[in-house]
Chain A
Amino acid sequence: MKYEPVSDEIIRSERVDFAYEKIRLSNGLTVLVAPMKGYRTANAAYATAFGSVDQRFVLDGEEISLPAGVAHFLEHKMFESEEGDAFDRYAETGANANAYTGFERTCYVFGASDRVDESLDILLDTVSHPWFTEATVAKEQGIIGQEIRMYEDSPDWRLMFSVFDCLYFNCPLKQDIAGSVESIAKITPQLLYTCTRAFYNPSNMVLAVAGNITRDQVLAALGRADLPQGGAAVQKLPASEPEQIRERGATVEMAVSRPVLGLGFKERPRPAAERLRWEIMADLLGELLIGDITPLYRRLYDEGLVNSGFSTDVFIGEGYFCILFSGETRDPGAVRAALLDEIARLRREGIRQEDFELCRNLLYGEAVGGFESAESVAGALASLALRGEDLFAELELLATLTVEDLEGALKELLDEGRSATVLLRPAQSEDNGGCGCEKSEGEA
């Protein structure tokens, strides 16, 4: 075999009666295999620790700066090769393939109930052999330009990036994952090759496969694959970011029927080893403050100030940690004030044990539900491995966290002085007053 296992361990959780194998290969690749009895489909996720926030790095002693959107652009382009489109190859095996880019990772996935070995070959081959030309890059700029415009019409997307823009001075989190039409116009084939050399090498990647699969199948596919050897020495350079926020708030007009409030808190970034714990504690605080078990949610719901779509989202990674409360409301000022009051009350009066246990159970149940689908297991395995965590870390943290832990976290988080408020306001346009459609008869 070309790539020998240098370490191999079985990781098991009795809590959810689940096990998977973690293998480290001689070329640096981390391989995770989770056979799931009774499943017909195998799902694979091949991921690299290269996301939209990775815009500066040193490669072979040279500092490289990227325009926004390169990781996402690469995600699109990796499906092409000189021989054709990877989708054409997947069409022959019947696999359902896709890819996605986040702030810190890019992930290539497929699900297949038949001819899994061939689909694994396609996945490993596609992601290992980049091929870019001036013409194909130019064509992709057009397609991604349309994708960017589609997201510009999404209220949630606009709100989220507007909040990040208020909170951060330099952190690339504030830039759309896909970049902008202007930034992607700067992308060249050479730049893409530089990025694949830096990030698309085994030591920076994880292959996770779950469902109807065996360890031998995965290792055999890796034995057939022609992966890049070892890893280029790449060092990410995080943007320097002051502690304070950039702006207290902003108002954005767009075609929405009701105002949408975003209240974001810029938290102190945490070391990699602590991030999952802080993420879970922030999620729990969101539930304790304005989850649907709380009197605050009930009051705002009954007063017509929030609906069931009001949410808490947590974003945490290298150089950033943000907690965002958002949702539609007819009175953004009242909801913002109520939320800040509740944070102060909870800090003052403490967290009730009963409330803590309810929220803990709620998140625990969601985590158990995550083991239901091979697709979500493969995605979580890859994503957590890139963060240096194992699949059961969330369950264990939830089972062992205490009220005191959470009260300690609350002392450090959700400081109004480090918050920004964004309001999406319905555009004052005659287009929004109902259907202004025109009809023309005849053959279209």
Chain B
Amino acid sequence: MQRRELRGGAALTALPAEQFKTSRITINFILPSKRETATAFALLPNLLERCYAGCPDMTRLSRKLAALYGAALSADSSVQGENRVVTISVCGIRDQYALAGEPLSAEYADILFGTAFEPCIEQGSFDPAQVEIERQKLREQLEGEINNKRAYCVQQARRRFFGDAAAGIERNGYLGDLDRIDGRALAAAYDEMVRTARIEVLVLGADPQQVEARLLEHLDKIERAPAAMRPAVAMPPRPAETYREPVDAVQGKLCLMFTTGRPLSGQELDWMRLAGALLGGLPSSRLFRNVRERQSLCYYCACSYSQLTGALCIDSGIEPKNAQRAQQAILKELADLAGGPISEQELREAKTSYLGALGSVGDSLSSIEAWAFREILRGTFKTPQEVAGAIEATGAQEIRAVLSLFSLSVSYLLEGRGNPDEV
């Protein structure tokens, strides 16, 4: 991983990717997440992805990408702790695999930089007709979040967990704000993004020097005032709250949200990687083995930890009639791991599995990029090999220490109707 700090609050990271058939370049714009611009930033990538000044029509751009052997252009928006991240990425096959030997890489860079820095903004506004089309798509997406019951349950739990905190700002924005977002508001959001965002460019399998030159060429035209990235946060502990929402579904979903009360740092972060694997990150984890396999209380049960928000999320698919038992069983597994014995064999197996997963990070463009960007956001800049050393050194005492920091804040049950025969 070669990372170079460039002028103007930007950095470029070149990642080794010679063994792959495709190449990939990504630009991340990172700026403080704000409630008032959340919906604009959720919508902005959809406008950017449609076209750019050099290719000002959505269908023309689709045809251009198809001609480049289905090169993939994506623009997306996410919330990482208290940061809003707009990510624009292009990925396509390498030149030598083109059927007629035509050059492809230079075109990928043209499309990426065109999308990021030459949007179709005229007289301070995106095209109102295009904005209306994309606004409607986002409206449908927001209204349709219930279609995926698992994701919906987690989202509802997160809303109760974060309340009005900045870390809980909605990735996809707010229905109530949509009508206020017009072409001018989006152009203003775009200006704010290119002016104030920290920029992180990741290059895999393309020439980093050419990418750097192209990037600086664009940045030099902008009066930049980049804001610092927001650090990790954590919600304060509080008495647990329980929510139940009836839904017309066969299976129920249960999501539990826990907080550490303070951001984890230093070695604790490495301990938490292994603790998460032991608790619910592996097929051999306690939640999978005991709650699913031994007690048959759920079909899936897994945990995920967010370093940037200090939140631990455990979600499961359950029979509604088993909801209470499933929750008790999950809490017992967490308590047992935080306060009870952990055998040498269990610890060794979890380490072996985690180290195996670390070993495979370098085997795909997407996992190399995801790893590098997560480390950039965390500010830790560790390689998988460095983390492997820390995992090796982690013992049961450290696992217990880090898991005992968590307390339950929210339990959210999406209460399906269950199997009618068993009601």
Contacts and interface: CB of A to CB of B under 8 A. Distances in A.
Contacts of B358: 113
Given A257-B145, A439-B160, A441-B242, 12 more contacts: A94-B349, A94-B356, A95-B356, A113-B358, A146-B251, A149-B319, A152-B251, A257-B147, A258-B144, A357-B67, A365-B71, A436-B246
6 contacts: A17-B96, A153-B416, A254-B248, A257-B145, A291-B66, A443-B240
A302 B137 CA distance: 10
A358 B242 CA distance: 53
B99 A359 contact: no
Given A146-B299, A372-B365, A435-B245, A444 B69 contact: no
Contact of A91 (B140, B245, B353): B353
A432 B363 CA distance: 43
Interface string A113-149: 1110000000000000000000000010011011101
Contact of A146 (B66, B67, B319): B319
Contacts of B256: 444
Nearest to B160: A439
B21 A307 contact: no
Given A96-B353, A257-B143, A444-B327, A91 B248 contact: no
B352 interface: yes
Contacts of B327: 444
B360 A41 contact: yes
Sorted nearest first, the 3 A-B pairs with minimum C-beta distance are A113-B359, A365-B69, A38-B19
A297 B283 CA distance: 42
Given A181-B419, A364-B99, A438-B244, A94 B363 contact: no
Given A365-B92, A429-B248, A439-B243, A444 B362 contact: no
| Most B CB within 10 A of own CB, among A39, A146, A152, A364 | A146
B355 interface: yes
Interface stretch (A67-75, A82-90, A167-175, A229-237): A82-90
A328 interface: yes
B249 A87 contact: no
Contact of B67 (A181, A304, A361): A361
Contacts of A95: 353, 356
Interface residues of B, number: 82
Nearest to B318: A146
Interface string B15-47: 000111110000000000000000000000000
B250 A153 contact: yes
A85 to B, nearest CB: 7
A333 interface: no
Interface in B41-95: 58-59, 62-63, 66-71, 92-93
Given A96-B356, A149-B251, A295-B59, A40 B284 contact: no
Contact of B250 (A111, A152, A291, A369): A152
A393 B186 CA distance: 47
A411 interface: no
Contacts of A363: 70
Interface of B: 18-22, 58-59, 62-63, 66-71, 92-93, 96-97, 99, 133, 136-137, 140-141, 143-147, 149, 156, 160, 239-251, 256, 282-284, 289, 292-293, 296, 298-300, 317-319, 327, 331, 349-350, 352-360, 362-365, 408, 411-412, 416, 419
A92 B352 contact: yes
A301 B14 CA distance: 37
Contact of B143 (A146, A258, A297): A258
B359 A41 contact: yes
A113 B370 CA distance: 19
A15 B68 CA distance: 16
A94 B296 contact: no
Contacts of A90: 283-284
A369 B93 contact: yes
Nearest to A140: B296
Contacts of B96: 17
B136 A255 contact: no
A427 B292 contact: no
A244 interface: no
B92 to A, nearest CB: 7
Interface in A50-96: 85, 87-88, 90-96
Contact of B245 (A254, A374, A437): A437
B99 A139 contact: no
B51 to A, nearest CB: 12
> Among B289, B363, B416, which residue has the most Cβ atoms of chain A within 10 A?
B363
Interface size class for chain A? 35 or more
A364 B20 CA distance: 16
A272 interface: no
A369 B246 CA distance: 43
Nearest to B353: A94
Contacts of B92: 365
A399 interface: yes
Nearest to B249: A153
Contacts of A6: none
A256 interface: yes
Most chain B CB within 10 A, of A17, A94, A292, is at A94
Contact of A150 (B71, B133, B317, B364): B317
Interface in A321-377: 328, 357-359, 361-366, 368-369, 371-374
A379 interface: no
Contacts of B349: 91-92, 94
Contact of B352 (A85, A94, A211): A94
A97 B353 CA distance: 10
A442 interface: yes
B19 A36 contact: yes
B239 to A, nearest CB: 7
A427 B43 CA distance: 29
Contacts of A255: 146-147, 149, 247-249
A146 B317 contact: yes
Given A41-B363, A113-B356, A444-B411, A292 B62 contact: yes
Contact of A368 (B93, B241, B363): B93
Contacts of B145: 257
A173 B88 CA distance: 40
A165 B230 CA distance: 53
Interface in A260-274: none
A347 B199 CA distance: 49
A298 interface: yes
Given A91-B282, A292-B62, A302-B133, A150 B147 contact: no
Contacts of A38: 18-19
Given A155-B147, A293-B59, A328-B144, A444 B242 contact: yes
A443 B239 contact: yes
Contact of B284 (A15, A17, A88, A437): A88
Given A149-B251, A399-B99, A16 B246 contact: no
Contacts of B359: 40-41, 113-114
A429 B299 CA distance: 26
B136 A437 contact: no
Interface string A202-219: 000000000100000000
B133 A362 contact: no
A398 B114 CA distance: 31
Interface string A15-42: 1110000000000000000001111110
Nearest to A303: B133
Contacts of B147: 155, 255-257
A112 B360 CA distance: 8
A440 interface: yes
A301 B353 contact: no
A97 B357 CA distance: 12
Contacts of A93: 352, 356
- Most chain A CB within 10 A, of B146, B239, B360, is at B360
